Amino acid sequence: MNTTTAKQPKAKTTSANQELGAFIGELYSFNNSLKLYHWHVTGKGSYAQHIALDQAIDTLTDTLDRIAETTFALVGDLNVVIPQTSAPNDIAKHVSGFYDYVNSKRELFTEDFTQSIIDDIQEANQQLLYRLVRLQ
């Protein structure tokens, strides 16, 4: 029995691959920004915010891994660059802005299953917004 696997050829550096690497880096940075904010939550409703952020971070960590590994499988190696990350001042505005950013990058993902992972990212963002804004 042959147990060797096909090796994915090393991807050529293209504009699309650079955008994909930058997008995955932005996802990672966004997730880390939520954790930075999470550590500073205090005051009225802070427990609910704390739990909402924990849930979002867990979900987004999973979806980040799924989109990264799937993208590597489809296009080969990517140069992922993670931007410097700060704790946001206005968490709802930060999440809403990131939701718009993710939508602006949808065209990078042409497969139905990659679009489904992007949908999962967006669902997590919308659920976080709901919990942050409506469940104070």
* Residue 90, pLDDT score: 95
* Residue 13, pLDDT score: 59
* Distance between CA atoms of residues 102 and 122, nearest Å: 8
* Residue 12, pLDDT score: 52
User: Which are the contacts of 26, defined by CB distance < 8 A and separation ≥ 6?
Assistant: 83, 101
| Mean pLDDT, the chain cut into blocks of 10 residues (136 residues total) | 48 78 97 95 88 96 97 94 95 97 96 97 97 85
Q: Where are the domains of the chain?
A: 15-134
* Residue 44, pLDDT score: 85
Q: Which CATH architecture has domain 15-134?
A: Up-down Bundle (1.20)
* Residue 5, pLDDT score: 46
